[in-house]
């Protein structure tokens, strides 16, 4: 049976994670994400799980990867400065293929920035924050309900593709309170990590089965003895400088996302059916955009909203499908134009940018005004 609760986004994301089977959280306090750590501290021992407050964000993500290596679904939560500190080990998880979920409740930066006003300035960092070419998935919720349901999707994708998944929240959604429905546990679709039969001395722990994209690394302690490293490694998990092996590994890591975008990518369209103008936005900006679209529609404008849910990889096929009918593209995001670059890349034409970098919200009026200007 489902239940209805009044929760803020940060709390809902913890409940979603618990429903997904998350049983380990390591984190460090930082506004506006702290309620996530607080709720994990309260809720995890009730579920037999473990919470630990680490000494910093470097340690938090490291402990999360460690717990995942031991077979437990694990996550951390942070905001801008802490997200910056986590980047090195996010790359480690990408390369070593250790599933984990990192919640980033974005605040206004750079540096300590404007604590803790809303922003979406970590959009590019979520993709490119760690060094080197690497796979990553990022998902952005725009309601408290989605903070719950999309969190489950984060864990499912992370476990399936053995890739770190960034839950790119923002202060708006994190601190918003809304009625949230908790679906009945039986109705949830949960993806459990695929393991392989215990092979004793596992010489090829990183070998990928035919038709699969990620290796079936069993948790430590299951019966194998194998090696995990942040160095480029062969299928046995050992460091190598072999150029062909390096190319094969990195290609596979990137391909496992790039060749599965149909499964991974998600977007929502709102009143797009006959739209000639699309407002592209995500996360906490979505409500302003919807209000603006409604108002402009009432005045006869053919406008809709296109909203990436999977913000990385960018759902480009979905957007491309609308391009033939579109005359105008407006991107609204709480930064100086980051997803704008993706939209323009996919559309191959300039888009109008509505941005904010001072910690204030983009009001519906401003988006409405832009729609009406384009609607001539």
Partner 1 sequence: MREYSDLIYKYTRVDHLPHIWCAGCGNGILTRDVAVAFERLKLEREKTVVVSGIGCSSRAAGYLDVNTIHTTHGRALAFATGIKLANPELHVVVITGDGDCAAIGGNHLIHAARRNIDLTAIVFNNNTYGMTGGQYSPTTPTGDKGTTAPYGNIDRAFDIARLAESSGASYTARGTAYHTLETIQAIERGILHKGFSLIDCYSVCPTYYGRKNKKGSAVDMLIWQRDHGVPRARYDALSPEERQGKFPVGILQQNDYPEFIEQYQRIIDGCETEQERSAFIHD
| 179 lies in the binding site for partner 1 (CB under 8 A) | no
> How many angstroms separate the CA atoms of 376 and 277, rounded?
11
Q: In the complex, what is the shortest distance from the CB of residue 159 to partner 1, in angstroms, rounded to a whole number?
A: 15
DSSP state letter for 194 = P
Which residues fall within 8 angstroms of residue 44, CB to CB, at 6 or more apart?
A: 18, 23, 24, 25, 50, 51
Q: In the complex, what is the shortest distance from the CB of residue 32 to partner 1, in angstroms, rounded to a whole number?
A: 19
Contact between 264 and 137 under an 8 Å Cβ cutoff? The reply is yes
> With respect to partner 1, which residue has the nearer C-beta, 110 or 223?
223
DSSP state letter for 332 = E
> With respect to partner 1, which residue has the nearer C-beta, 115 or 230?
230
Kindly tell me which residue out of 31, 38, 71, 196 binds partner 1, with binding defined by CB under 8 A: 71
Interface region with partner 1, contact rule CB under 8 A, candidates 66-74, 132-140, 277-285, 359-367 = 66-74
SS3 9: helix
Which residues fall within 8 angstroms of residue 255, CB to CB, at 6 or more apart?
A: 213
| 345 lies in the binding site for partner 1 (CB under 8 A) | no
> With respect to partner 1, which residue has the nearer C-beta, 15 or 146?
15
| 183 lies in the binding site for partner 1 (CB under 8 A) | no
Joined together, the tokens standing for residue 279 give: 């407002």
Q: In the complex, what is the shortest distance from the CB of residue 226 to partner 1, in angstroms, rounded to a whole number?
A: 7
Closest CA to 233 of 244, 243, 246: 246
- How many residues interact with partner 1 (rule CB under 8 A)? 49
| 65 lies in the binding site for partner 1 (CB under 8 A) | yes
Question: Exposed, middle or buried: residue 203 (CB in 10 Å: 0-12, 13-18, 19+)?
Answer: middle
Cα distance from N-terminal residue to C-terminal residue, the chain: 50
Q: What x/- string results for residues 184 through 223 when contact with partner 1 is judged by CB under 8 A?
A: -----------------x-----------------xxxxx
Q: In the complex, what is the shortest distance from the CB of residue 96 to partner 1, in angstroms, rounded to a whole number?
A: 8
Contact between 295 and 274 under an 8 Å Cβ cutoff? The reply is no
Interface region with partner 1, contact rule CB under 8 A, candidates 85-93, 267-275, 313-321, 323-331 = 85-93
Closest CA to 109 of 82, 136, 132, 86: 82
Question: Exposed, middle or buried: residue 117 (CB in 10 Å: 0-12, 13-18, 19+)?
Answer: middle
| 50 lies in the binding site for partner 1 (CB under 8 A) | yes
Joined together, the tokens standing for residue 325 give: 């009918």
Q: In the complex, what is the shortest distance from the CB of residue 261 to partner 1, in angstroms, rounded to a whole number?
A: 29
Kindly tell me which residue out of 17, 22, 40, 62 binds partner 1, with binding defined by CB under 8 A: 62
| 251 lies in the binding site for partner 1 (CB under 8 A) | no
Joined together, the tokens standing for residue 174 give: 């994190």
Joined together, the tokens standing for residue 136 give: 């990553």
Kindly tell me which residue out of 37, 67, 126, 257 binds partner 1, with binding defined by CB under 8 A: 67
Q: In the complex, what is the shortest distance from the CB of residue 229 to partner 1, in angstroms, rounded to a whole number?
A: 4
**Which spans of this chain sit near partner 1 (rule: CB under 8 A)?**
3, 5, 15, 24, 26, 42-43, 45-46, 48, 50, 52, 54-56, 58-60, 62-72, 74, 88-89, 92, 201, 219-231, 238-239
């Amino acid at each position: 049976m489902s239940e209805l609760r009044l929760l803020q986004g940060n709390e809902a994301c913890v409940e979603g994670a618990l429903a997904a089977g998350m049983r380990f959280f390591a984190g460090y306090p930082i506004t506006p994400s702290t309620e996530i750590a607080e709720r994990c501290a309260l809720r995890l021992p009730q579920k037999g799980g473990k919470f630990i407050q680490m000494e910093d964000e470097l340690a938090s993500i490291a402990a999360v990867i460690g717990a995942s290596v031991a077979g437990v679904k694990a996550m951390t939560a942070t905001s801008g400065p802490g997200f910056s500190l986590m980047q090195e080990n996010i790359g480690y998880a990408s390369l070593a293929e250790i599933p984990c979920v990192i919640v980033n409740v974005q605040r206004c930066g750079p540096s300590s920035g404007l604590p803790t006003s809303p922003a979406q300035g970590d959009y590019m960092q979520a993709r490119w924050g760690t060094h080197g070419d690497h796979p990553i998935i990022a998902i952005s919720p725009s309601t408290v309900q989605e903070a719950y349901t999309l969190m489950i999707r984060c864990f499912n994708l992370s476990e399936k593709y053995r890739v770190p998944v960034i839950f790119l929240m923002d202060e708006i959604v994190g601190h918003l309170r809304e009625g949230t429905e908790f679906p009945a546990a039986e109705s949830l679709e949960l993806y459990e990590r695929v393991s392989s039969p215990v092979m004793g001395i596992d010489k090829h722990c990183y070998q990928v089965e035919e038709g699969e994209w990620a290796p079936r690394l069993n948790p430590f302690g299951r019966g194998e003895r194998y090696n995990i490293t942040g160095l480029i490694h062969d299928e046995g998990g050992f460091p190598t400088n072999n150029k062909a092996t390096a190319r094969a590994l990195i290609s596979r890591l990137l391909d496992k996302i790039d060749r599965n975008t149909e499964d991974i990518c998600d977007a929502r369209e709102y009143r797009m059916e006959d739209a000639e103008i699309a407002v592209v936005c995500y996360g906490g900006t979505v409500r302003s955009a919807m209000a603006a679209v409604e108002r402009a529609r009432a005045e006869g404008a053919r406008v809709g909203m296109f909203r990436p849910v999977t913000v990385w990889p960018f759902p480009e096929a979905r957007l491309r499908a609308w391009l033939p009918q579109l005359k105008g593209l407006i991107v609204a995001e709480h930064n100086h134009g980051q997803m704008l670059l993706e939209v323009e890349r996919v559309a191959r034409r300039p888009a109008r940018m509505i941005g904010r970098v001072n910690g204030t919200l983009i009001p519906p009026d401003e988006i409405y005004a832009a729609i009406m200007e384009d609607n001539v």
